[in-house]
Amino acid sequence: MTHVADDAPLVRTSAGDGGGGLFLALVSATAFGMSGSLARGLLSTGWSPGAIVLARVGIGALVVAPFAVASLRGRWRQLRAQARTVLVYGVLGLAGAQFCFFSAVAAMDVAPALLIEYTAPAAVVVWLWARRGQRPRPYTMAGAGLAAVGLILAVDLISGADLAWSGVAWALAAMVGLTAYFLIAADTDTGLPPAALTGAGLAVGTLALAALAAVGLLPMHAGVEPAGYRIGDVPWWLPVLLLGLVTAALAYTTGTAAGRRLGSRTASFVALLEVVASVIFAWLLINETPTPSQTTGGLLIIGGVTLAKLDDRPSRETP
């Protein structure tokens, strides 16, 4: 039986590993940040959240599959031994989080939905404290507090903005799935390479979504009408392809690899930068201009991430 992911990797061989992990986390956050705006263009043409998620996860699974097989090097028994972990990772951490997020986006703006979902780092800190006894350090607490203020400002709760409470509920459900993703992705005890875990998780997520669609529990509506963005109309297949290649295959593979190097706590805080990327992409792609409150909130989130990163544990050299 595997253990819940630790706050930091079990072994770091050099300072360069931490830097590499930070780079991977930034790539992942930027790639994820594009997903909501791309999805909005498809939702406006009649695509259902379920259809978008299935296409995104399915394409991602196909792209990652060859790399997953190569990374396993024939160690199929190891994959079977971690079947439960892969199942939770695929159903809850990938498919569940994505479907809930896109359902939230269908009811409210991209930025608030993503900001609510990204209370997940706080949930990671609480989980590690409760289950592993890893009490958060001062900088982590300060970073979480600063990021929380940034989230409140960015969502514009103070002004009494209409948050569409059905969207809020979906976004909170996405937060639960995202928390599971961070914890499992950073779990070094599974022995599965990041590409193998990502590929298997995407495959499981695809099958789960397809099964729900087959029995009618997950509405599937798609179309071939052009999707409209700030730059103009584009063929429907272009955002679908970008969702699969960039916001699934690239984002999840680099995110899982970053979790292994940084640990679930630090990786989840760095992933908050997806919020900033999402606001920027929402402005560039669907003309959702960030308000002064969102801009201030974004800056506070960046400050919170920086503080949390300062609390990294000292590297432990290999014997």
Q: Could you give the CA distance from residue 316 to residue 36 in angstroms, rounded to a whole number?
A: 38
Tell me what pLDDT residue 296 has. 82
Pairing of strands 232-234, 227-229: antiparallel
pLDDT at 51 over 80: yes
> Which comes out higher in pLDDT, residue 172 or 217?
172
Q: Could you give the CA distance from residue 109 to residue 117 in angstroms, rounded to a whole number?
A: 13
pLDDT at 291 over 80: no
Task: Please give the mean pLDDT across all residues of the chain.
Answer: 82
Q: Could you give the CA distance from residue 9 to residue 36 in angstroms, rounded to a whole number?
A: 30
pLDDT at 254 over 60: yes
Q: Which two tokens stand for residue 267?
A: 């990786």
The domain spans of the chain are: 16-310
String of DSSP letters for 104-149: HHHHS-HHHHHHHHTTHHHHHHHHHHHHH--PPPHHHHHHHHHHHH
String of DSSP letters for 248-267: IIIHHHHHHHHHHHH-HHHH
The residue written with tokens 């087959």 in the block is 214
Type of residue found at 86: V
**Any residues with CB less than 8 A from the CB of 296 and at least 6 apart, and which?**
150, 153, 154
The residue written with tokens 């800056």 in the block is 299
Q: Smallest Cα–Cα separation from 286: which of 224, 216, 218, 239? A: 239
Tell me what pLDDT residue 168 has. 85
127 — pLDDT class (breaks 50, 70, 90): confident
Q: Could you give the CA distance from residue 123 to residue 135 in angstroms, rounded to a whole number?
A: 13
277 — pLDDT class (breaks 50, 70, 90): confident
Whole-angstrom CA distances from 184 to 85, 124, 170, 189, 192 are: 7, 11, 21, 10, 11
> Hey, how many other C-beta atoms are within 10 angstroms of the C-beta on 185?
27
pLDDT in tens, 11-28: 343 334 557 888 999 999
Q: What is the mean pLDDT of residues 170-183?
A: 90
DSSP H or E run through 229: strand 227-229
Tell me what pLDDT residue 12 has. 42
Q: Which of 9-18, 36-45, 305-314 is modeled with the greatest confidence?
A: 36-45
316 — pLDDT class (breaks 50, 70, 90): very low
Type of residue found at 298: G
Tell me what pLDDT residue 313 has. 52
